[in-house]
Structure 1
């Protein structure tokens, strides 16, 4: 189970915090234990199959000279393409 704490519209406010709180857990119960221990609100829970689809092309080209990150519209389209949904990703439920 993957848990993303920071909604994408806030991701660039503090990218270190955002990336530092994209975590893998053994189960939903483990996520909720961590949330309770840290006092955080639940973000977005994702199964590992969806995480694989998301990550498989998200970083393509990042190590190439001249790489530029996706603009918000392209990122949102990519999120929908890999099966993400909801306001957390800037998409409809």
Structure 2
């Protein structure tokens, strides 16, 4: 399982915190134990096939000179395309 703590609407508020709290876990029970230990609220939990689809093209071109990150509408479209949903990603439930 993968757990993303920070909703995408706040991801750029503190990118180090956002990226530092995108974690892999052995199960949802392990996610729950980590949340209990840290006092964090549950973010978005996805299985690894979904994470693989998400990561597959998300970083394409990031290291190219002149790369421009996706605008919010393009990012939301990409999130929906790879199977993400809900307000966490700025999408309908």
Same fold? TM cut 0.5:
yes
Partner of 1:65: 65
Spell out, residue by residue over 1:74-93, the C-alpha distance to the aligned partner (whole angstroms, 9 max, x if none). Answer: 00000000000000000000
- Mapped pair 1:20 → 2:20: yes
TM-score (norm 1): 0.99
Q: 5+ residue gaps in structure 2? A: none
Q: 2 CA distance for matches of 1:9 and 1:66? A: 24
Q: 2 CA distance for matches of 1:63 and 1:89? A: 24
> How many positions carry a matched residue from both structures?
93
Q: 1 CA distance for matches of 2:70 and 2:54? A: 14
Q: 5+ residue gaps in structure 1? A: none
Specify the SS of the correspondent of 1:52. Answer: helix
